[in-house]
């Protein structure tokens, strides 16, 4: 995933971001893993502009997917009455 993000030459175009979302099959975990690797790469070499552009693309793909929130069970309301 990270290698594909690095090789996208469109630099954040909607098509490039759509391709990343497609490669991730709509899941956040592959994109989050690529994001982590790119961040590590930038910590080692802060002037790596290809990694910076790729990180921006991965972040945009994560934004497009959105957050996966687990469903919260419905709370029962207390009415103050006893059966």
The pLDDT of residue 81:
64
Does the pTM surpass 0.85? The reply is no
Q: Chain-wide mean pLDDT for the chain? A: 82
Q: What is the pLDDT of residues 13-44, one digit of tens each?
A: 778 888 999 999 989 999 999 999 999 999 99
Look-up of token digits 């802060």: 46
DSSP 9: S
Which parts of the chain fold into alpha helices (H)?
2-7, 14-23, 28-44, 49-65
Highest mean pLDDT among 2-6, 40-44, 67-71: 40-44
pLDDT band at 61 (very low <50, low <70, confident <90, very high): very high
Give the Cα separation of 83 and 68 in Å (integer).
Answer: 39
Kindly list the domain boundaries of the chain, sorted by start residue.
2-65
């Amino acid at each position: 995933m990270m290698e594909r993000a690095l090789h996208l030459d469109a630099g954040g175009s909607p098509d490039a971001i759509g391709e990343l979302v497609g490669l991730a099959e709509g899941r956040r975990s592959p994109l989050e893993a690529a994001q982590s690797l790119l961040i590590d790469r930038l910590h080692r070499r802060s002037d790596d502009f290809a990694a910076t552009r790729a990180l921006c693309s991965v972040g945009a793909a994560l934004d497009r997917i959105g957050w996966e929130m687990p469903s919260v069970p419905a709370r029962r309301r207390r009415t103050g009455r006893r059966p």
